[in-house]
Structure 1
Amino acid sequence: MTRNEKAEIISNLEAEFKASEAIVVCDYRGLSVKKLEALRIAAKEQNVKVQVIKNTLAKIALNNSAKDGMELKDTNIFVWGEDQLAVTKVVAKFEEANKDLFKIKTAYIDGEVAPVSKVVALSKMPSRDELIAMLLQVWNAPIQNFTIGLNALKEKKEQSA
């Protein structure tokens, strides 16, 4: 890889890391190509990016995007995106399905290096769409109960007449 190619990769990663809300670094040693492709497909559905990056290039890109402090060792796969919950859900779900071969190492969330426990906790939170659905159910419940009560009152009056 030439110096210009490396500089181009770093500048692309830097721009993407600046725009992302969450960056998760995972160990993927021993994972088959088929399973890696499954991870990429699951990530793409959630607008999350997955890429194997050399540690030196990733460190430079992270430092240039003001997201430093992560310790990068051994083989790493980087997962990042603009939605924190989507990134954490993709990674946690994949780790659960592939416990022996895929492990979350570290993450950069909310402007700081985050432990694995924070990634797992965020992955269990409901998404924005799920929260909106819950809110709509709460708002809809009194109207449903009122109509059920009116219908029961109507049936009772019809039976007594």
Structure 2
Amino acid sequence: MPAKIKYEQVALLKEKLERSEAVFVGEYRGMTVAQSTALRVKVREAGGELKIAKNTLFAIAMKEAGLESLSESLVTGPNIYALCYGDPVGVAKVLKEYATDKTQKAFVLKGGLLGKVALDQSQVYALADLPSKDVLVAQVVRTIAAPISGLVTVLSGTMRGLVTCLGQIRDKKEAA
């Protein structure tokens, strides 16, 4: 019979998974405490949380949370799970930067789950290359506002031309 602590761990993981937007999986074999602490701090600043859990307990928690189970290749070995509570792009960027850093060879980003869609390593890297949500919103607003500002420029140009023309007529009449 499983220990009570395992039930508590599964319940805690399930609650965290229900709040998360995405889950990324990485293998941390050979990481030092200082490296894992630095990675935890960076992920926390990006709006996520790193959890180390037994793969079987994490799989049970995912099933109970109603999420798709991760592929067998993702859940083998000592894994660290990054749970994203905000914009998943920021956390993906942090994990990609850390995984591709030449000074460390211990952390390997394997893949993840975005919503209910499973991602492999290349898809997580592609997600990390996207601009953040705030930048995308700013680009959309700028795209929507561009025609309006162009219309204002055109309309003000016509009025400016009319004022200039009337000013020239006034000057000619004063000179005559």
- Say whether the fold is shared (TM-score over 0.5): yes
| Residue type of the alignment partner of 1:5 | I
Q: CA offsets, 1:21-67, max 9 Å, x none?
A: 21111011111111111111101112201011111211111111122
- Across the aligned residues of Structure 1 and Structure 2, the Cα RMSD in angstroms comes to 2.6
Question: Are residues 1:77 and 2:89 paired?
Answer: no
Show the 5 A alignment for 1:56-71. 56-67=56-67, 68-71=69-72
Structure 2: 5+ residue runs without aligned partners?
A: 158-176
- The question of whether the paired residues in 1 share the 8 Å contact of 2:50 and 2:82 is answered with yes
Q: CA deviation at 1:117?
A: 1.0
Aligned length: 148
Match of residue 10 from structure 2: 10
Q: Against the structure 1 CA distance between its residues 63 and 52, is the aligned structure 2 distance closer, same or farther, given a 3 Å change threshold?
A: same
Determine which of 95, 101, 109 is the counterpart of 1:97: 101
Show the 5 A alignment for 1:73-152. 73-82=76-85, 83-97=87-101, 100-135=105-140, 139=145
TM-score in terms of structure 1 length: 0.78
Aligned-partner Cα distance in 2 for 1:63–1:50: 19
- The question of whether the paired residues in 1 share the 8 Å contact of 2:25 and 2:110 is answered with yes
TM-score in terms of structure 2 length: 0.72
Structure 1: 5+ residue runs without aligned partners?
A: 151-161
Match of residue 44 from structure 1: 44
SS in 2 for 1:50: strand
Matched-pair identity in %:
27
